[in-house]
């Protein structure tokens, strides 16, 4: 059995290495995850709510920042970061190439350019 620094896997010699094996990690936190899911279902706070606010405060404190803001996706993170930095049409910047298929669409999107112009 192979063990990495963060995750234990069930890979055997000669087998293909799994991309990401979360089974062992999930087994250790299953009860906590299911309890959190049930809390969300019962509270009906699928977006925002007191849990999100508490997490943002905890992340801000942990990182030493005044504020922390959660975003729904990596695409939202890229769009809102570009807008916050006032990067728009005609501006040059360097973007990572290994962050998903959405980077080129966000960077070149006419709606992105229009949003940054307003």
In a domain? residue 107: yes
- Structural domain total, the chain: 1
Q: What is the pTM of this model?
A: 0.53
Tell whether 9 is covered by a domain: no
Structure tokens given for 69: 């803001």
Whether residue 29 lies inside any domain: the answer is: no
pLDDT digits over 51-93, tens only? 889 999 999 999 999 999 888 887 788 888 888 888 887 887 7
Question: Which residues form the domain of 98?
Answer: 71-118
Instruction: Give the model's confidence band at 113: pLDDT under 50 very low, under 70 low, under 90 confident, else very high.
Output: very low
| Average pLDDT for the chain | 77
For residue 11, tell me if it sits in a domain.
Answer: no
3-state DSSP assignment of residue 8: strand
Looking up tokens 């977006």, which residue turns up?
A: 47
């Amino acid at each position: 059995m192979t063990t990495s620094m963060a995750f234990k896997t069930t890979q055997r010699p000669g087998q293909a290495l799994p991309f990401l094996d979360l089974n062992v990690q999930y087994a250790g936190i299953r009860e906590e995850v299911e309890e959190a899911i049930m809390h969300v279902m019962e509270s009906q706070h699928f977006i925002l709510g007191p849990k999100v606010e508490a997490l943002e405060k905890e992340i801000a404190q942990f990182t030493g920042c005044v504020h922390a803001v959660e975003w729904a996706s990596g695409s939202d993170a890229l769009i809102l970061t570009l807008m916050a930095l006032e990067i728009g049409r005609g501006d040059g910047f360097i973007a990572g190439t290994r962050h998903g298929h959405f980077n080129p669409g966000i960077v070149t999107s006419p709606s992105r350019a229009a949003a940054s112009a307003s």
